Amino acid sequence: MDSPLRILHVVVNMNRGGAETLIMNLYRHIDRSKVQFDFLTCKPGAFDKEIMEMGGVVHRIPYVTDVGHFKYTRLLGDFFKLNPYHIVHSHMDKMSGAVLKNAKKYGVPVRLAHSHNTESEGNSIIRLYKWWNGMNIGRSATKFIACSTDAAEWLFHRKAAKAQIVKNGIVPSQFTYSNETRTRIRGELGLAEHSFVIGHVGRFAKQKNHEFLIELFSEYEQLNKDAALVMLGDGPMRNEMESKAKELGLVRKAKFLGVRQDVEEVMQAFDVFVFPSRHEGLPVTLIEAQGSGLTCIISDAITKEVDLGLGLIDFLPLHDQRIWLNRLVQSQKDINKRGKNHEAFINKGYDITKTAAEIESMYLSFIGESG
């Protein structure tokens, strides 16, 4: 093969979300002399510059919410008509139905649907529209991929058994706990060494349940005045959550750091990781948190597959905040137990080098397929 096989990844944008972080981890570790990634996006993203530096192309069309169903569908068709890719890998959950339907119509032979979630976002009308588009996945995709069995069952239904589970791999060495890093980051963030720091990484959207997190912290802070809450991420509900923290008198205790490029370092400053999501596929951030040796107190709505067997995950129900509060109090005893967990990631298949090799082999196996 004289030139690398070019894969088109379809996403809304390449910001620092879970699916996008996985794609970039794969991109950095795949053999780019054999396989190259291009992207069809709808909005600018934080990773765009790095993508182009690695040889990728970032295409852009407006998203359906900006131009409406008919124009969005026409723009997808125009794109595939003018850009003849052999493989399209869509990460749009139920909207992958619209993407892959048009890819099939214009002759793309290999069409991958990748599920990263277990529920759609949006109001009832938006969810109904996404469900309608999702009906096209079964008849338009030639390959089904998911981050977990729950994610496969949600998006692919009767075809879930055919789905290939691709682990959300990370670079374990990047998350190894370091006292030096912990001290430096705490200094930068204005956190005292004796502070008990509750950490969270996630997009500010209904799915992530920040309202529960902030209310929980408000209760815990009454018991431990040395506590702090540090949240990484951005999203449509960030302003609302900042206002809520202000209303509860937490302006000095709750820190909203926005999108960071050094998540692996900021995690070193945490003492416990709290993740009360209403639904998830298999979040990369929980793999990263376990890599940092953090006790993770998480919603029982999240798949049990996220537990690497290190004794760091506690699944709790969302209906009773008191259970979470009691577990936070107990977690103060866990802060001196952090260590290296590299072997567990390798054994469980969450080392990115293994995931990248698996994906590369899969892509190369499609050469010659005519759909």
Assign residue 233 a region (left: φ > 0; alpha: ψ between -120 and 50; beta: otherwise).
left
Domain ranges for the chain, please list them.
5-169+351-365, 172-348
* Whether pLDDT at 222 is above 70: yes
* Whether pLDDT at 166 is above 80: yes
Confidence (pLDDT) at 212: 98
Please state, rounded to an integer, the average pLDDT across all residues of the chain: 93
Over residues 188-206, mean pLDDT: 95
Instruction: Name the residue with higher pLDDT: 10 or 119.
Output: 10
Strand bridging mode 87-90 / 5-10? parallel
Confidence (pLDDT) at 333: 78
Only one residue has tokens 């309608």, namely: 132
Confidence (pLDDT) at 339: 63
CATH tag, 5-169+351-365: 3.40.50.2000
Confidence (pLDDT) at 345: 79
Question: How far apart (Å, rounded) are the C-alpha atoms in residues 10 and 89?
Answer: 6
Confidence of residue 371 (pLDDT cuts 50, 70, 90): low
Quote the radius of gyration of the chain (alpha carbons, Å): 21
* Whether pLDDT at 75 is above 70: yes
Confidence (pLDDT) at 17: 84
Question: How far apart (Å, rounded) are the C-alpha atoms in residues 22 and 26?
Answer: 6
Distances (CA, A) of 72 to 67, 69, 125, 320, 369: 6, 5, 17, 43, 28
Each residue's pLDDT tens digit, 54-63: 999 999 999 9
Confidence (pLDDT) at 116: 95
Percentage with pLDDT > 70 across the chain: 97
Confidence of residue 177 (pLDDT cuts 50, 70, 90): confident
Confidence (pLDDT) at 175: 87
β-strand partners of 254: 229
Question: How far apart (Å, rounded) are the C-alpha atoms in residues 222 and 300?
Answer: 25
β-strand partners of 164: 145
Percentage with pLDDT > 90 across the chain: 83
CATH tag, 172-348: 3.40.50.2000
Q: Do domains 5-169+351-365 and 172-348 have the same CATH topology?
A: yes
Each residue's pLDDT tens digit, 333-359: 776 666 666 677 778 888 999 999 999
> Read out DSSP for 116-178?
--SS--S-HHHHHHHHHHHTTHHHH-SEEEESSHHHHHHHHGGGGGGPEE----B-GGGG---
